[in-house]
Amino acid sequence: MSISTSAPSMRTTTPAMAVWNNREKIAASRSRLQALYEAVDWANDLDLYQWTQWFAIALEFQPDLIVELGRGMGNSTCVFTEAANQLGDCRVVSLCLSPDWDATVKHRVAQVVPDSWFQKLETRTEEILTTDVQALIGDSQRVLVLWDAHGFDMAEFVLGGLLPTLEHRHSFVVMHDISDGRYSRINPSYQGKRLWRGTREGFNREGHSRLYLNYLDTAVEQTIAIVDFISRNGLTLESADHSLQTELSSERISELQNSLEAKFFRLDGHWFYFSLNEKTKGEEIYFPNFQSEIVIQERQARSHVDNDHAQVEQLQGEVNHLKTLLAQAQADTGMANLLKKAWRKYKAFRSR
Ligand SMILES: C[S@@+](CC[C@H](N)C(=O)[O-])C[C@H]1O[C@@H](n2cnc3c(N)ncnc32)[C@H](O)[C@@H]1O
């Protein structure tokens, strides 16, 4: 399969240029984006200005397929489905284990869009690691990937399972949950916290620091995996913040600020992006090995260890409680013996 040379591929997609080139469409879509944002009602995972940025990226890159890895409550699902509707020749496949979309969010979204809007969207509630990638990508030529499901297992799937399929197509990968310390004012202090040790027991374990890799400020493992991947392959991992803050002239920034309200346009993004197309045709790209059966088996083994660990901790707690009760009982017995002794002495004294 070879890279097609249709018009969109001739221009490099960057967040700043995406927002600038599509400013009129963004302005015209504000009420729709806002209505969807309110229907999702989960700004925690993506704020409105980030909706605008991803919407612009999709319009600019003009994918024929958008693969969403991690739907959660569905912020990105709505952004990309709205973009797919506006692009026309584009569909969204959303993969996630979370049932929230079908259970609650979809019904709210249906209040603000026509039924036909959903024709561009296929939501699958399933394990991403076992996805048949060839079938997923099919003969799509321009694939936008949202990498918003976390952990090393997922990183191995993306880098070793999904990306090799995209090697000879047009690709653009958006990575959420990484901030750019050059622009987001990192506090370098550990603030008395322990080292970052991964997210196995939660997104950002309490009492543990975030992870700073040079200027990458994150709490998710795939940041390590992507730095490894781009380093091996001489690719560029760039931030939305850097693009927005360096590619737009002050006149353009003012124009965007005037034409879009502040909630739709900001110069920070807190996401990064890369594309395999930075490599010239014929240059080798190195991918890690990915075998879903092995990753799943290892994950099950880890979960058994975690369960055993939790049980040991629970037993340890019970043993400590019993020890306290025993010590108390011993103290009570000691006190009772003392009282008995005193009582005997008192009786002996009285009977003299
Ligand atoms: C941060 S949320 C996604 C947020 C979403 N993109 C948005 O904009 O609202 C990550 C989601 O990835 C899902 N996820 C993580 N690992 C997964 C896996 N192995 N298979 C399927 N879903 C997974 C989680 O269930 C969670 O719902």
Q: What is the atom index within ligand 1 of the atom nearest the CA of 151? A: 16
Provide the strand spans (E) within 8-81: 65-69
How do beta strands 91-96 and 65-69 pair? Answer: parallel
| Whether residue 6 has pLDDT greater than 70 | no
Residue located nearest, by CA, to atom 12 of ligand 1? 70
Site residues for ligand 1, CB cut-off 6 Å = 42, 45-46, 70-76, 96-98, 127-129, 148-149, 154
By most ligand atoms within 8 Å of CB, the mutation choice from 76, 148, 199 for ligand 1 is: 148
What distance in angstroms lies between residue 95's CA and the mean position of ligand 1's atoms?
8
What distance in angstroms lies between residue 69's CA and the mean position of ligand 1's atoms?
7
2: confidence class by pLDDT, cuts 50, 70, 90: very low
**Is residue 275 within 8 Å of 172, Cβ to Cβ?**
yes
The Cα–Cα gap between 56 and 19 comes to 5
200: confidence class by pLDDT, cuts 50, 70, 90: low
Q: At what angle do helices 250-259 and 23-40 cross, to 10 degrees?
A: 50
Task: Specify the DSSP element, H or E, that contains 142.
Answer: strand 142-147
Q: Higher model confidence: residue 263 or residue 207?
A: 263
Residue located nearest, by CA, to atom 26 of ligand 1? 72
What distance in angstroms lies between residue 93's CA and the mean position of ligand 1's atoms?
13
For residue 145, what are the β-bridge partners?
67, 173
Average pLDDT taken over every residue of the chain: 91
What distance in angstroms lies between residue 68's CA and the mean position of ligand 1's atoms?
9
What is the reported pLDDT for 11? 56
